[in-house]
Amino acid sequence: MKILLAVDGSAFTKKMLGYLTTHEEMFGSHNEITLFTVQAPLPPRARAAVGADVANGYYAEEAAKVTDPVVKFLKRHSIEPKVLHKVGQPGEQIAKAASAGKFDLVLMGSHGHSALGNLVMGSVATQVLAHCDVPVLLVR
């Protein structure tokens, strides 16, 4: 099974990783695991001021801050993940990556906001569920 792990470095990501590693029969090393993180875009003027190379380097560094500890953790559990990162709106980018990569499952942590909280604040998980045609497993 091809599994896309949406990670952001939060406590909710850690909880999702705990779930993943305690359910070896479903999510073990026999699956193809890809880590995916999304960086917020720099304001257009800032990007223009620093140039594309500097901006892309910044995005890569910020993504590595999120994914490197996760890669290290998964390797301790005999899982060798691939790593991808994009720039943009997280919910939209996760859904696009899941479809484009022909993944079988998206696994992500969720803050667990109430319906009113989602209405007021929005939620990456809500956006992924609304736009993704791949099954999504939310861990709260």
Q: Is 116 left (phi over 0), alpha (psi -120 to 50) or beta?
A: alpha
pLDDT at 125: 87
Whole-number pLDDT of residue 24: 87
Residue 63, amino acid: A
| pLDDT (0 to 100) of residue 121 | 40
Which residues in the chain come in under a pLDDT of 50? 117-118, 120-121
b/e for 73-83, b at 16 or more Cβ within 10 A?
Answer: bbeeeebebeb
State pLDDT tens for residues 97-130: 999 999 999 999 987 555 554 454 458 888 999 8
User: pLDDT at position 112, please?
Assistant: 58
